[in-house]
Chains A and B, each alone.
Chain A
């Protein structure tokens, strides 16, 4: 008898429990109409409703109702097959907040389904170590830059050593690192006529791999009247944690950033990485149950603006240099879906003299980058990357413009794989060039 009870007990579905459970109210908002299906990249690729937002929400509800076990491997698979691109949120007639729900479901999995030791070690080394302290990443980037400039990179590629070490995916994603990493607290950009203050969110990948874009952001903001700095004390936005269910780790980083930007004084917090911007704008949700930080998080969130959003609040100070080229726009998920910023980059590009914008098909479908998704799930990521590359190439544009480092790297890799030489540029780099780039007048850098 006791044995039978035990067996029954073991077979009972494991429900959600403990902290960070998917909010039941948010979950019940889904009326399973199915309007989200075609917006979902994994559904578009597989045609399988289990791989759709409605399907995943249905599974979450089933776990909440005790009909499916939290530890069912297929539930796990779907929660992590999702790119968390939030395209479904933007089209949902019922306003279901899918992002917080999938993040909470992942948090539940991380709490209740221990990962094998080697995965834990990998997470510690690949994720936590560099992201907890961005200085480590910038040091790494310095090393990488040396590696690229010394010719070692080409040598290893030619000899096939990378392939042997199974690192070729990682290596080919890295663009040439153009400038030395940007450390916070040093550079400021002073406009001729000051309109307001702006504080750049430096980011981990942006400040290490794309420091040239961060510096260009300072210049473009200064051209448009913003006294700009990069406040000291800031770190990683924490998206890498919140997207992988490690919400407490994300909270540690959030508190640190809130403090840093409080010290920086008034003015907008400007983000040029869509993924970071979306995470920063959700600090209020992340810290809603933290009595010491809930209100501060709200105040912080209210100050965050994507660089596209800030610059398009009024017409640009007219750019001085024509760029005679056709470009196409790839919309980062965390810009167009999570932040609903879609008209602004187009409006900015239209103000660049000589520039022609040609729209690609499916410009707002995920490119497959999705944080670390392209490393953890290369097959689906490659399929989506190829799809994006084909759409970009079909436009005949000379360059692809975007505004998120993950997309920039994924696009570059996908275009190369598909035989295209289209460069991928951050929108700020384009604007910077239109103002004359590094040699432009109209702004000044003060080195502290």
Chain B
């Protein structure tokens, strides 16, 4: 059937204002937040902007009738090529479904549409002293639907958990076009927890059209601590010991010297530029508890030999201390025009060893690597700095990325902490999963979507791989590890 017939059918469901099909309007959906060259995308045949669950279901049925795949998309801030089309088809942009439908103060929950922006939800319930805890760095722009698809994390997930810990139920449109409600909230619920399957499924199982989310009370007291260390070893040691001592800060973040330099050059955040690493600790909760934990952290940092220690209860000063961390990616512009943000996770006990390895690989490739990361849960974010105008720069970056991933995996880590697999890390999956692991995942995918109709070509490498990138990855994996695609 022709594209024209597809468009006509879609217009019947979403109205002329809810369907985009001309070149200029479509090409803007080729982009997400992933770096140029890391993800291959194609122009979708159409983009729809539905306003209701029924419209989403209608679109799915039409796409099925025309035999074209469907990709769900929020704000398109993802870093792994999850919400872009790689096999053409229809992109369902959920940004017009952006209403907070209900806030239940007694249950401390909110029923929201998927297009609600993460931070907007927290702002919405702020005067009720509540917030939505998952706080990815993209929270000003990224949507709850996207957070669910990627199982997003953030600095405060150390204490509060990632997105999956905050989703109580979801309404989904299934690949059949049927609408289902999965609930893990009912008391005595005895069935299969399909909400847990949906969160983090990257739009491959169903399209979330409503979500019942948990709201968290805003802590009564917050203390922010900055501890500078003369070596990365000391900073990492402090993190390990803080966790080992049994206390649970809300976040534990480390920045290395290169990042400190960039931040100081750009924002004068007041970080000591002669330190090898800065540890940012946030402690929150009841005032007595916060005071006690802060004292413990201080004693511990001093014993290890912190070279500078600051603590603040003042919101303005806290914002200043956090600013350097929050703006660190932006500040990288001071060092190089482009960066590639890596997302590997390693066991906390291997932090120092991993950072040494990152440093060694970076030096070998000739590309500078800065480190800003969620130390508390071992989620590394090495930033590979480069200038994409230099010939072959992107290829070198992808190669270094591959080596970093392999190194992290060898140290007992995994591919992704919070950015998802998408198409970017899909071909690395065989590095950490065995063939039977992957077959089990593919089996779950098939039971939701037997025709591979929702977001095809993402996450699972089996049988769907194509393109040069895959060849590059696969060649290197075959060379180094003897891994062959199956």
Contacts and interface: CB of A to CB of B under 8 A. Distances in A.
A54 B327 contact: no
Interface in A1-40: 28-29, 31-38
A177 B329 CA distance: 50
Contacts of B142: 34
A31 B30 contact: no
B333 A94 contact: yes
Contacts of B23: 68, 72, 74
Contact of B93 (A34, A36, A49, A67): A49
A54 B140 contact: no
A264 interface: no
Contacts of A59: 24, 27-28
A47 B27 contact: no
A75 interface: yes
Contacts of A52: 28
Contacts of B75: 34, 37-38
Contact of B31 (A47, A54, A93): A54
A58 B27 contact: yes
A49 B115 CA distance: 13
A68 B327 contact: no
Q: In the complex, which of the residues A62, A74, A78 has the most CB atoms of chain B within 10 Å of its own CB atom?
A: A74
B29 to A, nearest CB: 6
Given A47-B98, A49-B93, A54-B31, A28 B389 contact: yes
A55 interface: yes
B402 to A, nearest CB: 21
Given A35-B138, A94-B333, A47 B32 contact: no
B303 interface: no
B429 to A, nearest CB: 25
A95 interface: yes
Contacts of B138: 33-35
Contacts of A91: 140
B28 A34 contact: no
Interface string A49-73: 1101011001100100001100010
A48 interface: yes
Contact of B24 (A36, A37, A50, A54): A50
A38 B140 contact: yes
A437 to B, nearest CB: 36
B156 to A, nearest CB: 19
Q: In the complex, which of the residues B29, B36, B95, B333 has the most CB atoms of chain A within 10 Å of its own CB atom?
A: B95
Interface in B16-56: 20, 22-25, 27-33, 35-36, 49
A31 B75 CA distance: 15
B77 A35 contact: yes
Contact of B330 (A50, A78, A93): A93
Interface string A76-108: 001000000000000101110000000000000
B416 interface: no
A281 B360 CA distance: 47
B27 A93 contact: no
B24 A38 contact: no
B115 A47 contact: yes
Contact of B29 (A33, A47, A49, A75): A49
B327 A93 contact: yes
Taking residues whose C-beta sits less than 8 angstroms from the other chain, chain A's interface range is 20 to 34
A94 B24 contact: no
A47 B95 contact: yes
B140 to A, nearest CB: 6
Contacts of B166: none
A95 B333 contact: yes
Given A35-B140, A38-B141, A68 B27 contact: yes
A174 to B, nearest CB: 33
B120 to A, nearest CB: 8
B27 A62 contact: yes
B33 A32 contact: yes
A239 B443 CA distance: 61
Interface in B332-381: 333, 337-338
A48 B27 contact: no
Interface in B135-163: 138, 140-142
Contacts of B388: 28
B282 to A, nearest CB: 22
B77 A74 contact: no
A149 to B, nearest CB: 45
A137 B271 CA distance: 54
Contacts of B30: 58
A88 B329 CA distance: 17
Interface in B108-150: 115, 117, 120, 138, 140-142
Contacts of B24: 50, 59, 62, 68, 72, 74-75, 78
A58 B25 CA distance: 10
A31 B31 CA distance: 9
Contact of A34 (B20, B141, B389): B141
B414 to A, nearest CB: 24
A72 B23 CA distance: 9
Contacts of B35: 31
A33 B330 CA distance: 11
Contacts of A78: 24
Contacts of A95: 330, 333
Nearest to B339: A31
Q: In the complex, which of the residues B30, B141, B330, B337 has the most CB atoms of chain A within 10 Å of its own CB atom?
A: B141
B82 interface: no
Interface in B82-116: 93, 95-96, 98, 115
Contacts of A29: 337
Contacts of B117: 38
A74 B98 contact: no
Given A34-B33, A38-B140, A54 B28 contact: yes
A75 B120 CA distance: 30
Contacts of A31: 33, 35-36, 338
Contacts of A74: 22-25
B69 interface: no
B327 A32 contact: no
Nearest to B30: A58
B76 interface: yes
Contacts of A67: 27
Nearest to B31: A32
Given A50-B20, A72-B24, A74-B25, A94 B31 contact: no
Nearest to B29: A49
Q: In the complex, which of the residues A28, A32, A55 has the most CB atoms of chain B within 10 Å of its own CB atom?
A: A32
A16 B115 CA distance: 35
Contact of A58 (B20, B28, B327, B389): B28
Interface in B236-271: none
A93 B341 CA distance: 14
Q: In the complex, which of the residues A33, A35, A47 has the most CB atoms of chain B within 10 Å of its own CB atom?
A: A33
Interface in A365-383: none
Contacts of B141: 34-38
B96 A55 contact: no
A48 B93 contact: yes
A47 B140 contact: no
Given A28-B389, A34-B76, A62-B27, A94 B93 contact: no
Contacts of B140: 35, 38, 91
9 contacts: A31-B35, A31-B338, A47-B49, A48-B20, A49-B29, A49-B95, A55-B28, A62-B24, A94-B330
- Shortest 3 CB-CB distances between A and B: which pairs? A93-B330, A55-B28, A74-B24
Given A34-B32, A50-B25, A93-B327, 9 more contacts: A33-B77, A34-B76, A38-B117, A48-B25, A48-B49, A50-B24, A58-B27, A68-B23, A74-B24
Interface of A: 28-29, 31-38, 47-50, 52, 54-55, 58-59, 62, 67-68, 72, 74-75, 78, 91, 93-95
